[in-house]
Amino acid sequence: MRGALLIAKKEFLELSKDRKTLFFAFVLPFLLYPAIFGMMAKMAKRDEAQNRNKASRVFLADPSGAITGMLQADPKRFELAPRPEGDLRQAVRDQKLDLALDVDAGAAEALRKHATFTIAATVDESERTSELALKRLKEALAGQEKTWIQARLEILGASPQLAEPLKLEVKNAADPILEMGKVMGRILPYLLMIMMYTGSMQHGIYATAGEKERHTLLSLMATRLPRNQIILGKLLYIFSMGVIAALLNLLSMGLSIPFMSGGSTNSMQAMAALANPMTLGLTFMIMVPLGLFFSNFILLMGIQARNTIEAGSAITPGIFLVVFLGIFTMSPGVDKMAFLSYVPVVNVCLALRKLFSQQFNQLEYLVAFAMTVGLAAIMTWVSTRILNREKALFKA
């Protein structure tokens, strides 16, 4: 094993000479995430403030004036706009209007007769301003409907409480820790897999196909070190870079949480509660064999490639598989499919999802851990065996 450590040390020494790579690998994450999340949070707050303080532009076609007075009485939330030229639907899509309302011509008469009338609302639900206008309209109509119903009940001499037979009181059983845990449980496994794979990929290409291009692989093979020690040393280096990349990116994201939450005390307390030694330890323990599996694949593809371009072409498709699996495990209802606990890689994501959601299942975790360790061990054996062959190492 000493030879493998020497090879890994050699790779790290070569890395230390490249200042640009060191900057992008170890420094940039701590600058990038706070800047991005800080800018996103600032823009979101500014947009929310603008929408909150701005009246919704509404075109109202109300021949009988059934709700015109209601909207005119609330100028802070509604601004009645003239009808734009062309199609109303297109005007809403073009954001010339936030909302277009068409009230039945006989609405006022229907109110007098205690009958029902219809309001047709045209809205663009893909736009935040249009969605907000519809929400404001529903709130205004809810209050107005209550007033109309109470007036009708007074005419009939009935109790106003007939219009409100019950009040629903909602108590949230999920505390901030559980809510934050479920969010983290969905996205963290996905992020970890992406970070580990991409963190290993570039360094793996440099240490394998790049060594061939630099014509130093032959010199390395000419040393007294056993070939399997050289292969294991490169594997250790690739694996270490993947783990370091994942940890640094996650640490930077953790430091960026105050920017995302706007300094919310609840969010900070929830994150502190989630970051307990047991949760972090179990997460790290199951990600180690998964990272080793990724590293073996990168080593196997990279060292058989003739150059870095070929290595990149062989290794890059793995990112799409990792992304697909990560997105798949974020889908609702996936955690209820029992058979997925026996699907490699997917079971790791599901185990971590339940771990952070305070639904930790010891059996599922052990199955995922055992399968991943076995998969990594088999992959290590296969890659070492294949790469011991001259044909694999020196492919023309």
Total residues belonging to the chain: 396
In the structure encoding, which two tokens stand for residue 262, read together? 């706007």
DSSP helix/strand/coil, 251: helix
d(CA 53, CA 48): 9
230, β-bridge pairs:
none
- Predicted local confidence at residue 308, as pLDDT: 86
Which two tokens mark 131?
């969605």
pLDDT value at position 59?
A: 93
Amino acid, single-letter form, for residue 219 = S
Pairing assessment for the beta strands 119-122 and 99-103 based on DSSP bridges: antiparallel
pLDDT at position 29: 77
| pLDDT of the residue at 273 | 56
DSSP-derived pairing of the beta strands 56-61 and 78-80: parallel
pLDDT of res. 85: 87
The Cα–Cα gap between 13 and 10 comes to 5
Straight-line distance from the first to the last Cα atom of the chain, in angstroms, rounded to the nearest whole number = 30
Task: Kindly tell me the sign of the dihedral angle through the C-alpha atoms of 211, 213, 215, 217.
Answer: positive
Average pLDDT per run of 10 along the chain, which is 396 residues long? 80 82 79 75 76 87 91 91 89 91 91 89 89 91 86 80 77 70 75 85 87 80 81 89 84 68 56 68 86 89 84 88 82 80 86 81 90 89 77 60
DSSP 35-47: HHHHHHHHHHHHH
What does the block give as tokens for 89?
């639907």
- Sign for the CA dihedral angle at 31, 32, 35, 41 comes to negative
Three-class SS state of 331: coil
**What is the distance between the alpha carbons of residues 271 and 274, in angstroms, rounded to a whole number?**
5
Domains of the chain from N-terminus onward: 2-43+176-393 (no CATH), 54-163 (3.40.190)
How far is CA 66 from its chain centroid?
46
pLDDT at position 270, please?
A: 56
Residue 293 contacts residue 379 (beta carbons within 8 Å)? yes
